Chains A and B, each alone.
Chain A
Amino acid sequence: MRILLAIGCDTYENAQSLNGAENDAARVFDALSNPAVGDYDPALSRLLLSPTIEEVRQTLMDVLYKAPGRIDTFTFFFAGHGGVASHNFYLWARNSRADALAPSAFSLSHLFQALHEVRPSQTNIIIDACNSGGLVHDLSALLKPESLGAQGTPGISLIATAAADQYALESDGAGWGTSVILDCIEGRRLVNDHRPTLDLFEIGRVVSSALDSGQQTPVSWGLNIWGAPRFCRNPKFGSDPNIGLREAIDAWPSEGDATIRPHYEGLWRAYTSVAGEWDARAFARTVQEVVDALADRPSALVGFIDRLALACTERARTATDRYRETEVLACLMACLLPLAGQSPINSLVASLQGLTGDAAAEATACLVSALADDRYALLCGGGISDLYLLPIRISKCLGWAAGSFLVGPSEHRTNVFLDLLRVVIEHYPLSAAIMSDSQAPYLAVAFAGIQDAGALDLGEQLASLAFHSLLGCRGQVTKWDVAPSKVFAYLEARRTGEFKDVTDVIERPVEVLTVLMLVAESLQLAEAFDETMRDLDHTSLAAFVTPNFLDYGSERMEIGDYRTWYVGQDIFTCSDIRANWGVRETPATELEARGAILCSLLFADRSPWFLLSP
């Protein structure tokens, strides 16, 4: 059941009248109640023109609480005056008063409280009003994952057509924001042509782009974790309109609903974490639960991950970490990788790999640009913690930069990577150091990129700096997953050279030394490394080698060899490790290789040895 409540208010008793709000509401109502466009039930939906606050409240009660069955999709549209007061956003009805907004205007808090009770599967909210971006004040209080997850609305999308400090403009009797939305709904503007139905959320991105004039900055926000996009049909989908309609109709009943339902509280929490403090493995665990539950329905699974990717990447773009979008995309890809042997999952995995490469390239270009403006751009605050984090950050950026062109070959990306590498060697040579064994996969990918780019002189310098730092601490680097509370003690130990009090944080065996020894020969460093190898006597090295490349994203890879070597026993020179490597495992397909590279960059306890092994 799909219900629309469209409100347009031109006439005001206590405020200046408007011209286009009623027209906007009527146009939206007509479009969305058309079975070929929105398919909202015209008998249950309502259009209100310049209503009083009492009429708004009563109508909301009627449409939400007197519906004859469960509401699948509820869309709320409002055009008129709006404003923020006491951290609440209010929609102005005909008889609203500026000096008494709480009793006389319609608060979005009121709407959300009703939605929590009625629990539509998907809620869409469009506000074309001045200051409508102010509704974020209500969102922060109302859209908590625990309240949504526990009580109701699993999916919600919204568009506010003006920022909290902006006017919503209109011309020729129509609001600018509503006109763009209708252009998308009715096919005059392209949102996408590969999905049969549209989310309001993705329409919001088009509206943001179309109104990007500085006068009106729309705010859009949303997540749909249940079923297909539900806002309206996509008029641009497919060349045969009948196919589009048919597939759209098939998509309305969300076949994954019952499967996803038990997970939506966790999914909301994972989704909200994307813009803040984010843990890739925790995010992956949550997504993996749904992937496992939908594994026997590939089409539903693809639809779910596709929607989740859309929402999460948009949210990731609000994070201060420019690589967040890259990691989120890689994480979603990693969750699907074990199923990449099936169609259509393989297509989505390949697509996500491409998008991850694009995002990594974009973040790296941003980093290189930032470094051109400020050579300290790699510092995060510049505090004591960066003595530990900066070396890791540098290798991680180099790894992702190389990964961007290893999964999506491009001369431009290669050049950007080399630009970054030059900056590191010129301005950060002493931070091109090894602090943690988590740097092994980043350096493995970076050196593979160096070899691919033929930049052996730069590679030689990077490897020398890294190896020298390992000699300086006699191979005593932290575990890849060292507890944050142990890092300061490690730094003190590293400063004094006395590690006996921090033995519990030292990694044994280390993979990062394996990486450096494997690349030494090709970088013509083997002789130099061999001469100082005695200083690393008793150091143990490792490499976990698996033939199952589709398993690279799993928390624990079950199939493979944990290969270890000991300096001073079976390893005396760099050539020894190559001679004693064992069986070389290589991925059968490009999709597997790219998946393994991206998973190694995402989860630092695995390395893509096939890139370096003899």
Chain B
Amino acid sequence: MSDDRRATRVEFFPDPVVRRAVDADFMLSAARRRAEQSQHLFNPDNTVRVRHGGTWMNPGLPEARNAEAQTHSASLSIAFDEIVNNDLDVIHRCVETLSRSMADQLAAMAYGFIQEVCDESGNVVSAALDVPFHETFYSMIEKVEYMVGRDGTVSRPALHVHPGALEKMKKALDEAPPDFEERLEALHAAKEREALATEAARISRFAKSKGEQ
């Protein structure tokens, strides 16, 4: 071929092997950081991996809500001058920017999904001005189903609130009447008993459990 066949893109010692390896490690680093930032949202034991697209459904659990895969994406920009100036801090900035963006999208999706499910089921407690906060809190706990872990112990629900609202909630609960804590503990105990009973009923459905009975 003539010299004209040279690709129009001209490079000088590009080293694509190192480029690919660094890009891959950069993405791994951002993914690890994203996982750290999202770990408060998801128990790793409850995290599953899907390989294909389509709908996520549980045919044996008609009450479970179907869902579809959602794509999260983030982009970042690096100024040529940052590279030319060999500014190594750009690595940290890019990892944080990318992982934060992905973690935020993941959190928004998770909270949005929970809200949709609660709205659909009516499992929502609204704060009312004429109801003291501790009573609203009590109602909220009443609506939550406690879960039993693989080790057989009951875990109490986790509360996700905006950092600014947390102090207000603590203060309101501290100002609750003296018998509130006792009422709340009694509710916790009842919920835990209810969870253990539900778990025992679930376990009893296994053939081995039936044989032991």
A binds B: yes
Residues on B with C-beta less than 8 A from A385 are: 15, 18-19, 21-23
The CB with the most chain A CB atoms within 10 A, among B13, B14, B15, B26, is that of B13
**Known A219-B1, A376-B80; contact A321-B11, beta-carbon cutoff 8 A:** yes
The digit string for A379-400, where 1 denotes a CB below 8 A from any CB of B, is 1111111111111110011000
CA–CA, A299 to B102, complex, Å?
A: 65
Min C-beta distance of B194 to chain A, whole Å: 50
Min C-beta distance of B179 to chain A, whole Å: 54
Contact B91 A363 (CB under 8 A): no
Contact B29 A488 (CB under 8 A): yes
The CB with the most chain A CB atoms within 10 A, among B16, B89, B92, is that of B16
Residues on A with C-beta less than 8 A from B22 are: 383-385, 388, 484, 487-488, 491
* Interface secondary structure of B, over-half rule: helix
Contact A382 B83 (CB under 8 A): yes
Tell me if A189 is interfacial: C-beta within 8 Å of chain B. no
| Interface window among B2-10, B63-71, B126-134, B166-174 | B2-10
Question: Which of A367, A392, A488 contacts B26, CB < 8 Å?
Answer: A488
Residues on B with C-beta less than 8 A from A366 are: 10
Tell me if B17 is interfacial: C-beta within 8 Å of chain A. yes
Question: Which of B6, B25, B88 contacts A387, CB < 8 Å?
Answer: B88
The digit string for B88-100, where 1 denotes a CB below 8 A from any CB of A, is 1111101000000
Min C-beta distance of A63 to chain B, whole Å: 28
CA–CA, A366 to B6, complex, Å?
A: 13
Contact B90 A219 (CB under 8 A): no
Question: Which chain A residue lies CB-closest to B77?
Answer: A382
CA–CA, A277 to B1, complex, Å?
A: 20
Contact A219 B5 (CB under 8 A): yes
CA–CA, A494 to B14, complex, Å?
A: 22
Contact A382 B78 (CB under 8 A): yes
Contact B12 A388 (CB under 8 A): no
Question: Which chain A residue lies CB-closest to B8?
Answer: A320
Contact A217 B2 (CB under 8 A): yes
Tell me if A323 is interfacial: C-beta within 8 Å of chain B. yes
Residues on A with C-beta less than 8 A from B29 are: 488, 492
Tell me if A218 is interfacial: C-beta within 8 Å of chain B. yes
CA–CA, A489 to B18, complex, Å?
A: 12
Residues on A with C-beta less than 8 A from B92 are: 495
Tell me if A124 is interfacial: C-beta within 8 Å of chain B. no
Q: Which of A299-346 contact B (CB under 8 A)?
A: 314, 317-323
Tell me if A430 is interfacial: C-beta within 8 Å of chain B. yes
Q: Which of B1-55 contact A (CB under 8 A)?
A: 1-7, 9-23, 25-26, 29
Min C-beta distance of A167 to chain B, whole Å: 17
Tell me if B73 is interfacial: C-beta within 8 Å of chain A. no
Tell me if B121 is interfacial: C-beta within 8 Å of chain A. no
Q: Which of B157-211 contact A (CB under 8 A)?
A: none
Residues on B with C-beta less than 8 A from A387 are: 83, 86-88, 90-91
| Interface window among A204-212, A226-234, A240-248, A570-578 | A204-212
Contact B88 A494 (CB under 8 A): yes
CA–CA, A198 to B183, complex, Å?
A: 101
Question: Which chain A residue lies CB-closest to B25?
Answer: A488
Contact A428 B84 (CB under 8 A): yes
Question: Which chain B residue lies CB-closest to A381?
Answer: B19
Question: Which of B3, B13, B85, B94 contacts A431, CB < 8 Å?
Answer: B85
Min C-beta distance of A382 to chain B, whole Å: 5
Question: Which of B2, B15, B25 contacts A208, CB < 8 Å?
Answer: B2
Contact A491 B88 (CB under 8 A): yes
Question: Which chain A residue lies CB-closest to B16?
Answer: A277
Contact B6 A397 (CB under 8 A): no
**Known A379-B83, A386-B83; contact A320-B14, beta-carbon cutoff 8 A:** yes
Residues on A with C-beta less than 8 A from B80 are: 376, 379, 382
Min C-beta distance of B2 to chain A, whole Å: 3
Tell me if A378 is interfacial: C-beta within 8 Å of chain B. yes
Residues on A with C-beta less than 8 A from B13 are: 321, 323, 389, 392-393, 396-397
**Known A382-B80, A491-B91; contact A484-B21, beta-carbon cutoff 8 A:** yes
CA–CA, A433 to B84, complex, Å?
A: 11
Tell me if A563 is interfacial: C-beta within 8 Å of chain B. no
- What are 11 contact pairs spanning A and B, CB under 8 A? A204-B1, A217-B2, A277-B16, A318-B6, A320-B11, A382-B78, A387-B90, A484-B17, A489-B25, A491-B22, A491-B91
- Which 7 pairs, one residue from A and one from B, show the smallest C-beta to C-beta distance? A208-B2, A488-B25, A484-B21, A385-B22, A495-B88, A385-B19, A380-B14
